[in-house]
Amino acid sequence: MYLLVPVVFALAAALSNAIATVLQRKAATSVPSSQGLRAGLLLDLLRRPVWLIGIVAVIVAGLCQALALNTGPLTVVQPLFVLELPLTLIVASLLMRRHLARSGWIAVACVVVGLGVALAALAPTGNRTHVPLDRWLPALIGCVAAVVLLSAVALRRPEGRMRAACLGTATAICFALTAALMKQATHILDDLGAVAFFTAWQTYGFAAAGMAALFLLQNAMQAGPLVASQPAITLGDAMVSLALGVVVYEEQVRSGWWIVPQLLGFALIGLGAVTLARIPLTQDLVAPDDTADDPAPATQPPP
């Protein structure tokens, strides 16, 4: 029962992010188009109630994620965010009156079932609230080094699948690190108050990691096909979060023969993510060449 609260908040955060994505995309297609950057774009969007509701959904998602991380293990909370992509497509099919093909529903089922199998096999336990700096340092160094290395490899590659996959993986690492730092920052706020929160390095650490994640995400989307970047982001965030939960927060997961169903679960998630990244509705929502300047969503995925 102790997992019920963080699970509910994590699912609420994933759903809120999904709603925000769809509402902001819907608002963006209603503003005047332009071939370049337009200073008045934000003002146009501010006049759209749908866009403002989307911003509220983003804020709700952030609060729900913080509460989930504050009340539950990182190894439980963060993997649940793999549901954000299928939830986005379901919300889009309802609010934008778009048809989600049968293959899309099968892919959604693969993600949901895979996540259930993986978490059941992992059976994470533990919820440490404070971590000393000497335990953080190896994780921080490892994450930063991996992001720098992946970014360097991506920059050496032409636009395409490899570049998108490298940047997608770097994005996933930053998302996972953001969540790990946010978890301790929320406990500092809860236990020591606002002054300690705003003077803690973890607070500025998760803010910096979050900004880096958003920057890398945009570049990953532009670097190549979504089918290369999205699975790397979806699986990478879950896997790195599991690693940080075990290494930094000393959370425990099953080992031994349980690794087999764990791998099966993640394989199903990967299969579902790849399939979802290929369908036109996904491309319309998040494809790099389908930006806010476009007058209407695309009807076909990019080549």
Task: Quote the mean pLDDT of the chain.
Answer: 83
Report pLDDT for 300: 41
162 and 132 housed in the same domain: yes
Domain that holds residue 284: 1-127+279-296
Query: Does residue 95 belong to any structural domain of this protein?
Result: yes
Query: In the chain, what is the straight-line distance between the N-terminal and C-terminal CA atoms, in Å?
Result: 47
125 beta partners: 252
3 and 105 housed in the same domain: yes
Which has more pLDDT, 43 or 260?
260
143 and 172 housed in the same domain: yes
Contact partners, residue 2, CB within 8 Å, separation at least 6 = 72, 127
Which has more pLDDT, 274 or 227?
274
Report pLDDT for 88: 85
> In this model, does residue 119 exceed pLDDT 80?
yes
151 and 104 housed in the same domain: no
106 and 21 housed in the same domain: yes
151-210 tens-digit pLDDT? 999 988 888 888 889 999 999 999 999 999 999 999 999 888 999 999 999 999 999 999
> In this model, does residue 39 exceed pLDDT 60?
no
58 and 160 housed in the same domain: no
Q: For residue 210, what are the CA distances in angstroms to 49, 66, 173, 203, 216?
A: 26, 13, 10, 11, 10
Query: Does residue 257 belong to any structural domain of this protein?
Result: no
132 and 122 housed in the same domain: no
> In this model, does residue 302 exceed pLDDT 90?
no
How many domains does the chain contain in total?
2
44 and 66 housed in the same domain: yes
Query: Does residue 176 belong to any structural domain of this protein?
Result: yes
**Confidence class of residue 41 from pLDDT cuts 50, 70 and 90?**
low
Report pLDDT for 38: 46
Q: At what angle do helices 84-95 and 259-278 cross, to 10 degrees?
A: 30
Query: Does residue 2 belong to any structural domain of this protein?
Result: yes
185 and 133 housed in the same domain: yes
63 and 98 housed in the same domain: yes
Query: Does residue 258 belong to any structural domain of this protein?
Result: no
> In this model, does residue 264 exceed pLDDT 90?
yes
Q: For residue 253, what are the CA distances in angstroms to 23, 88, 147, 221, 232?
A: 37, 29, 25, 33, 22
Report pLDDT for 21: 78
> In this model, does residue 301 exceed pLDDT 50?
no
Query: Does residue 271 belong to any structural domain of this protein?
Result: no
Contact partners, residue 150, CB within 8 Å, separation at least 6 = 166, 167, 169, 170, 173
Angstrom distance (rounded) from CA 181 to CA 163 = 27
132 and 65 housed in the same domain: no
> In this model, does residue 53 exceed pLDDT 50?
yes
When mean pLDDT is compared across 47-51, 101-105, 275-279, 288-292, the lowest value belongs to: 288-292
43 and 23 housed in the same domain: yes
**Could you tell me which of 206, 86, 185 has the C-alpha nearest to residue 131?**
185
Query: Does residue 25 belong to any structural domain of this protein?
Result: yes
Report pLDDT for 91: 86
R_g over Cα of the chain: 19
Contact partners, residue 106, CB within 8 Å, separation at least 6 = 275
Mean pLDDT, rounded, for 232-258: 91
Structure tokens at 69: 């991380």
